[in-house]
Structures are given as structure tokens and as C-alpha cells.
Structure 1
Amino acid sequence: MTEERKEPPSPRHNPCLFGHEEALLRVRRAMERERMPHAWLLRGPKGVGKATLAWHLARELLAGPEGWKSCHDPDDPLFRQVASGAHPELYTLEGEGRAERRSDEIPVGEVRALLERLAATPSRAGYRVVMVEEADRLNRNAANALLKMLEEPPRGVVFLLVARMPAALPATIVSRCAQLLLRPLAEERVAAALRTLLDLPAERAAALASLSGGCIGRGVELAAGRFLEVYGRVLEGLATAASPADLLAVAGELRDAGGDRDGWSGFALLGEVLRRAVRAEAGMPPAVELVPRERAALAAVAARHPLDRLAALWDKLQALARRGEALHLEASRALIVFLDELAAIPEPGGGR
């Protein structure tokens, strides 16, 4: 029976904030002291919660201190205005029409149109908020136009820039922003978030949290891709592979993992198998089994190789995946070659 999966809200529609209290308090203190920087840059790994915090801050900036508690209630008028894009003092740079342009960039025309809108008289007292949820997608001309606004910011406007790769932004933009660096969360907090957002059983949430690297978004992605199910099939296949046909079946599972065009998500999954096998062989078996009988299957994989060889294979896999993704190479053939080396299929009669 297929498990019914609850869809998590987008950052814009998410009333919940998990962790990052220090960053939130820093912005609140600036508001209370009326010493608000004109721009904040939110940094951190993918899925850590940058966009969710940015929309949380946007609501609080628009509501003011007296509305901090109520503005995150989905029934609150301000929450609904922000969620629908109808708030008169909220502006976004989102790269609209990307499909037609066949580009993921935010073009300069959108920044210039924003500047014209900001020149109008505000409809109310308080802050106006500009949200740039993927600031590292600004093209060069758009970044230069935004820089001019940051150098001479309109009165009462606060820019919220979210960037997974701040190095892609001009240093002049970064230097004009107060920075909020978000760090990975503890596994327990990620598990609690996954239980709330996806309505997951505690055991499954804990397993996904252990793979998330402290990033809720990563846990959500793993749940959506049915990572645990695929992981279990791949691990069992590697533990019991006895023929080239068995390896091809494993390669097929890995090739389809994640559904990305070039197939490199399968390398991330295989890397997790190797990482956990290395730790298990080194006397650090997983505290939480991702799938039933995982410890026994990891031991079967580790039994094919000494610990130093397993570790070397893991390093080789990581390097191969980095090169392949950077060069947009197709992963299927590399997976088969690597699996053949990893499996060390016994020769007929018991040889290795």
C-alpha cells in the first residue's frame, strides 16, 4: 500500500520556524532599537531554512513589534496578504517568466521595475520589505542595478537577500548587507520539524533527520524521493550481489534515485551506503537503523573489503561525483564501473 504523503508548505506559506532563534532575535533587537540595517543577507547550506526565516522576518518587519505574535497565524490578515503577494509594502524579485526566457537568472529589467515601484509614496507607516529569495540568480547587470539601490537605499526599505552561494554575488553587495549565517540544526530539531511538516512517524522522521546534515529541507527532499525505500533496496542488492545481472539491477535503482537528469543523485545515495559501512566496520554502527536489518546488511558489504579499502572507495566516489556534476556528465556508465569494483563478486567456487 502506497503511503499517503503530506506536502509541506512553501517558505512563503510556512507559519512555523524551527531553530535559528539567534538570527531572529538579532533582527528583532535592531527593530526595537530603531537601528535596522537596510539589507540583510541570509547565508547557509541548502535546505537549512534561509527562505523560511526570511519570510518570517518579512512578516515581522511589516507587522512591527506589536504584531510579532499574531503575524505568523495563517488566519491573520497580514499573513494572508504576504502569502498571496497582496501586501502593498512587500516587493519581490523572483525572476518571473523564467520558462519563457529559458534562463534561471533574475534580469536587470525586474530590478529597474522594482526601483520605479519603490519611488512611489508608501501607503502606510512602517517598513517596506524587498524579498530576493534567490539572490545568487541575479545576472551581472541586475546585480549592479541592485547595488545602486543598496548604496542609496530608499528610506524605510529593508532588503532581505537569500543566497545559498554568496560567492556568486558581487563582493560589493555582500559588504553592504548585515549577514545572518544559519548553521545546521541538531538532528532532534530536524526530526521534530519533519514530524510537523510531513506528519511522519517518529521513527521515520528520526531516520531521515540522521541523513539531513542538519537541514530540514534536505530531510523533506529525502522523504519526497522515498530515499529510505531506495536505500534499502540498494543496500540489500550490494550485500547479496552474486552476478553481473545483480549489479545492473542495483545500478538501475541508483540511476533513477532522485530523478535528476544526469543521474548523480544515485552517487549521493551510494556514498551514504559506503559512509555507513565504513563507520560500522570501524565499530560505530548506526544508532538508528534506516531500514530493517540495516546493520547486518552493512556488515555484509563491509565483509567484502578491508576497512582501508572501503574508506578509499568512499573517497573515490565523492571525487567522481564532484567532477561529474561539475562537468554535467552522464552518471550511468560510471555507476556500473564503480559498482563492479565495489561489489568484488566472488568467483564460482568461493574465490574473491
Structure 2
Amino acid sequence: MSGYDPQQAATWAPRHTPVLYGHAEAEKALLDAWASGRLPHAWLITGPRGVGKATLAFRFARFLLANGPAGSAADAGPSLFGDAPVLPDSLAVAEDHPVFSRVAGGGHADLITVERSYDEKADRWRGDIVVQDVRAVIDRFSKTAAEGGYRVCIVDAADDMNTNAANGLLKILEEPPPNAVLLLVSHAPGGLLPTIRSRCRRLALKPLNEAALGAALDRLLPDLDAAERRGLAVLAEGAPGRAALLAGQGGLKLLQGLLEMVGQLPKPDIPKLHAFGDALARDRSGTGFQVMGELFRWWLARLVRGAAAGQIGGAGWTEIFPGETALARRLSDWQAPDRWAEDWEQLGRLLDRGESVNLDRKQMLLNLFAMLGRAAAH
């Protein structure tokens, strides 16, 4: 897609990002907690994928490492005989600040990031965060801060921890060392151990509004044309990171191609369908199939909601690409929303089962269209 530059995308990573869009309330909560001098030792930052949770975590980590405890920051201000000390009014740390560059480069001694690691023996990224990753935090937190201020740990994402890793982190949460702050990023906090959730202060991030999302897309994807921007904004649902990821994966084009074939049911273009399936099968990483499955499930949910509320094409409905509204209306005529909801569940089981046992992706696509064809024939 024209709006995506892989080299530029490297600078979008949360540890590199100097700005945060749409989360002023959450940022103020962190700043106020720091200024109070009673900063909680653990925060659980929640919200949809791509909404800015890790970006906020790294922004706060830079702030803590640059400023230290609130008392020390105040002591560095004017004396008792001068003006009152002025504390920072935002979490921003300038890009030319030494802490910013060291955090971006992964070279700050008092910051440790826990994420899925690379398995050298298997020559692939691990599917979860393992206990060895958490032990590195225990080792780091057992020592004094290298620069005399805070020690900060970011877990991105806490949902990826296996049972042993979660229990290891719990030990740190139960007995945190002084001036140590843990920032846990979570897309689905309900899946975490209740004992972990209970020891963290929760900070929930909401999807960005239209204005904030637009500002974020201006920075992340400045070369988007109007049609791509409109479509990705709908798919993103207020999460700029999701928009950038889908741009890189060609998600908009993938969904459009799939829905065009759906629109041909009950008599699809068989050669085109097989060519689509062959392309998915050739992708050994499985990324294309995964993106297709996630987007199609998302679109069917959009269809169900719109049809049930009678809002397809009405107020609050933004067309993703030309012809999408007409297709949604046509599919809503095939069967009632409750039947589409049943198909959504069945389709999800089909895709999940196929992924879990590594079934042929092309065959799964053909099975998907066979199921949809039955709906079209009613």
C-alpha cells in the first residue's frame, strides 16, 4: 500500500515514539501519581491492541528515568529564597535528551523490557514469555539503580506470559524493591492471574476519537490517499497501531478482494477463488491467512451489528471501500442477523481449528466459501 514504508515503520515502535495521541487523561493520572510522591509500584495498562498502551508505557518510563522521584525533581529547582520549584506538566522527554536515545536504543541500565524472546534452538520467536525472561527482572531489581533513581520494567504484553513466568512476576509484585516501577501492558486483562491484577493500579486506555486518530495517522501514514485513510480509519476502530499494522499487511486490499468474491455468491468466480487460496497457501508464515481470517470475522460482526440496528448505510456507518455498503445490504437480505451471528461463530471455530492443527489454508478458504454459499442459496 502506498501509505506504508517499512523503514519508516521501525521508528513507530513504542520505544522510539516521542508523541502520544488521545490519552491526556491517562497521562495526567500517571503524572499526578508521580508528583504526589506516592507512586504505585505497579501499573496495569489496558485497552484494545494498537491503541497506544506500550507507547504510553515507554513514555512514562523515559519520564521516570529522566526525572527520578518527585522529591528529587523538586529539590533540583530554585532554593527556598527563590520561586517555588516547578514540576513537569507532562510526561514528554525531548528527543535530544540522553535518556530518550538510550531507551530507544535499548541501552539504559535501569530499564528492562520483558517480551517474547527468540529461541535460538528452534530458530523462531517463542509463542509466549517464559520464566527465564522474568528472571532477568528479578536479577536487575535485586541490585541498586545504576543511576540512583528509578528502576523500570515494561512487560509487553503481560498476556503472553506462561504460567511459570506469571508466577515469577507475581513474586516481584508481592515484594517490590524501593523505587521500582513495573508497567504491565495487557490487551485482555481478564486472562491474567487475579493476584497479579489485584497488585496493580489499573489504567484503561480508550479508543481514540476521530480527531486524535486523524492526527496519529498523519504522523504514522502521511502518504495515505483519502480512500485508504478512510478505510483504514474504519478498520482501526480508534487504534492507530492497528491501522499502521494493517497498512503494512495489505489488510485493506486483502479484505476488499475477499468481499468481492463473497459478493459473487452463490456462484463465485472459481478460478479467482482458487488463485486467492493458492496465494494464501504460498505464504509460509501464515500471516496473510491470519489477517484475512481476523478481518473477515471483524467484518461479519460489523454486518451483524449494522443489520440488527438497521444502520447499514445510515448515520454512523462509514463505507470502507466503494461498494461495501451495497454488499452489506445484499448479505443482510440473505438471512437474519441472528443467523449471521451463528455463522460468525461457526466460521470462527473453523478458522481456529484449522490454525491449531495447521490444516491446508486453501482448503479452509474453500470450506469458508462453501459455508457462505449455503447462506446465499437460502
What TM bracket, shorter-length normalisation?
0.7 to 0.9
Q: Which residue of 2 aligns with 1:285?
A: 313
Deviation at 1:178, TM superposition (A): 0.7
Q: 2:333 aligns with which of 306, 310, 319?
A: 306
Does the aligned pair in 2 maintain the 1:70–1:76 contact within 8 Å? no
Residue aligning to 1:196: 219
Q: What's the secondary structure of 2:43's corresponding residue?
A: strand
Distance 2:93 2:262 in 1: 47
**Aligned with residue 188 of structure 2, among 149, 165, 168:** 165
Count residues in correspondence: 339
1:217 is aligned to 2:241: yes
Contact 1:71/1:78 (CA < 8 Å) preserved in 2?
Answer: no
Q: Which of 1 and 2 has higher RCO (CA within 8 Å, sep 6+)?
A: 2
Instruction: Give the match's secondary structure for 1:263.
Output: helix
| 1:73 corresponds to which of 72, 94, 99 | 94
TM-score, scaled to structure 2: 0.77
Distance (Å, rounded) in 2 between the aligned partners of 1:336 and 1:248: 13
The verdict on how the C-alpha distance between 1:93 and 1:238 changes in structure 2, with shifts beyond 3 A counting, is closer
Q: Which residue of 1 aligns with 2:136?
A: 113
Q: Are residues 1:58 and 2:58 paired?
A: no
Would you say the 8 A contact 1:89–1:122 is kept in 2? yes
SS of the aligned residue for 2:121 comes to: helix
After superposition, where does 1:100-249 map in structure 2 within 5 Å? Answer: 100=121, 103-199=126-222, 200-240=224-264, 243-244=267-268, 246-247=269-270, 249=272
| Alpha-carbon distance in structure 1 between the residues aligned to 2:207 and 2:3 | 28
Map of 1:339 onto structure 2: 372
**Deviation of the 1:32 alpha carbon:** 0.6
Return closer, same or farther for 1:71/1:266 CA change in 2, 3 Å cut-off. closer
Q: Is the 8 A contact 1:255 1:266 kept in 2?
A: no
Report Cα offsets for 1:229-249 as digits up to 9, x if no partner.
2333333333345745x1563
What is the aligned partner in structure 1 of residue 40 from structure 2? Answer: 37
Amino acid at match of 2:312: M
8 Å Cα contact 1:241/1:247 also seen in 2: no
Tell me how far 1:251 sits from its aligned partner. 6.7
Secondary structure of the residue aligned to 1:179 is strand
Q: Which runs of 5+ in 1 are unaligned?
A: 345-351
Counterpart-to-counterpart distance in 2, 1:53 and 1:117: 22
**SS in structure 1 opposite 2:21?**
coil
Q: What letter corresponds to residue 61 of structure 1 in structure 2? A: L
User: In structure 2, what residue type is equivalent to 1:74?
Assistant: E
Instruction: Return the offset for 1:60.
Output: 1.2
For the aligned residue pairs, the C-alpha RMSD in angstroms reads 3.2
Q: What is the deviation of 1:59?
A: 1.0
Does 25-34 or 143-152 show the bigger shift? 143-152
Q: Alpha-carbon deviation of 1:130?
A: 1.1
CA contact (8 A) 1:105 1:139 kept: yes
Q: Distance in 2 between matches of 1:184 and 1:252?
A: 37
Structure 2: how far apart are the matches of 1:35 and 1:25? Answer: 15
**1:60, 1:67 within 8 Å by CA — same for their partners in 2?**
no
What does 1:271-282 align with in structure 2 at a 5 Å threshold?
271=297, 274=300, 279=306, 282=310
For structure 2, list consecutive stretches of 5 or more residues without a partner in the other structure. Answer: 68-72, 74-86
1:317 aligns with 2:340: no
**Secondary structure at 2:197 match in 1:** helix
Q: Distance in 1 between matches of 2:90 and 2:214?
A: 25
The TM-score with structure 1 as length reference comes to 0.82
- The alpha-carbon deviation at position 135 of structure 1 amounts to 1.7
Q: Report the Cα offset of residue 77 of structure 1.
A: 1.7
Sequence identity percentage: 35
Amino acid at match of 1:143: A
Q: Comparing 282-291 with 218-227, which one deviates more in the overlay? A: 282-291
CA distance in 1, matches of 2:294, 2:116: 30
Aligned match of 1:87? 108
CA distance in structure 2 between the aligned counterparts of 1:168 and 1:63, rounded to whole angstroms: 33
